[in-house]
Structures are given as C-alpha cells and as structure tokens.
Amino acid sequence: MSVGDSVLARVPRTYRAVAARHAELLKFAVVGACTFVIDTVIFYGLKLSVLEPKPVTAKVIAVLVATMASYVLNREWSFRTRGGRERHHEAALYFLFSGIGVALYAAPLWLSRYALHLQTPYTSRFVEEIADFTAAQVVGLLVGMVFRWWAFRRWVFPADESESAAPAGADSEDAAAPAAEEPDGSRPRLRRVA
C-alpha cells in the first residue's frame, strides 16, 4: 500500500471521494508546502545575513532553489501520470513558466518595498518585517501558486491524449464497435475492440 493510499484510508469516508477526485491538486499542495518551507528558510536566511540590503534578490534566490526542488517533486509525484513529453522539453517548459512565477512571487515584495515604501526609515523595523512577510510569503506565494498550477497542468504536464484517442492507423469503425443492446432496451454503449 502506497503512502497516498494509507493517508486516503484515514480520511473520513464523507471526504474520501472528494480527496480521491482531487488527488493531483492535493499532491501539488503538499509539494507547495514543502517548497514553502524551503523558500522561507532560504529567504530569511539570506535576508537576515548576507543580503540584508537586497531583500528582492534574496527572494529570487530562495524561489529559484525552491523551484528546483519543486520540479523533482512534481515530476516524480504530483504529475507522474501526466505528460509524455521528452524530459528536456518538459524541464525547459517547467523552468520557463517557473521563471514567470518568480517574477509573480517577487512583484508584491517589490511593490511593498519600493512603491509603497514599507521599509525603514519610512516605517519601523516591525512594520517592515510584517510587510515583507505578507507581500513575499503570502500574496506572492498565492499569485505564483495559482499561475503555476494552471501553467503546469496546461503546458508542462498535459493530460496524456493517447489514452483517450483511438490507436494510430485504426479506422473509427475498427476502434469502437457497438455493444449488444442493453437488457432494459436502452441505447447500446460503445466498447473498445482490441
């Protein structure tokens, strides 16, 4: 039994169907939580030490490291049943859309610091820290996460179309044949012919 199955077995029965239906989103959220911790630790580690005067640079570095971890976790766990692209093409798209995500993650912090001047000497150190956390770790994270969820599902890890399409070179008459009439007289369903 996999870890996911054992966790799903512990979910209350009323929510189990919803959890199973949205398993991919839940896995994406778990990966997001892990990379949130990576991002936060690196961001504050850099911001409170070597990159104190450059918080946006610290945020960009933190997001880049978290993005690398995110690619591996999403590819091998969240979206492992999707795709079909060559790995180098998939990775290039992943990092392209993640690059856009980095800009989306950093934009609220940039606005907070340089457009709204929520930094010392214009505010207290406490207000600066609250504003940095809210802009970088809450607003930026949410905007970037929504964008990345959409882009990864649409472009990077698309649903495998070969499962739903007819085999190449097969006529539509050969690919699906009508089943026998249903006992209740309803319309026959199509069945696949191997």
Residue-wise pLDDT tens digits, 20-61:
777 778 888 889 899 989 989 999 999 999 998 888 899 889
**Tokens (6 digits) for 191:** 């069945």
**Tokens (6 digits) for 58:** 């610290």
Q: Which phi and psi angles does 178 have, rounded to 5°?
A: -65, 140
Q: Which phi and psi angles does 190 have, rounded to 5°?
A: -80, 145
Residue 88, C-beta contacts closer than 8 angstroms, at least 6 positions apart: none
Q: Note the pLDDT tens digit of each residue in 114-151.
A: 999 888 888 898 999 899 889 988 999 889 889 988 99
- The pLDDT of residue 188: 46
Phi-psi region of 190 (alpha: psi -120 to 50; beta: other; left: phi over 0): beta
**Tokens (6 digits) for 121:** 């000497």
Q: Is the pLDDT of residue 154 over 50?
A: yes
- Which ranges of 22-180 does DSSP label H, i.e. alpha helix? 23-47, 55-73, 87-110, 125-132, 140-151, 172-175
What is the pTM (predicted TM-score) of this model?
Answer: 0.64
**Tokens (6 digits) for 146:** 């929504």
Terminal CA-to-CA distance of the chain, rounded, Å?
31
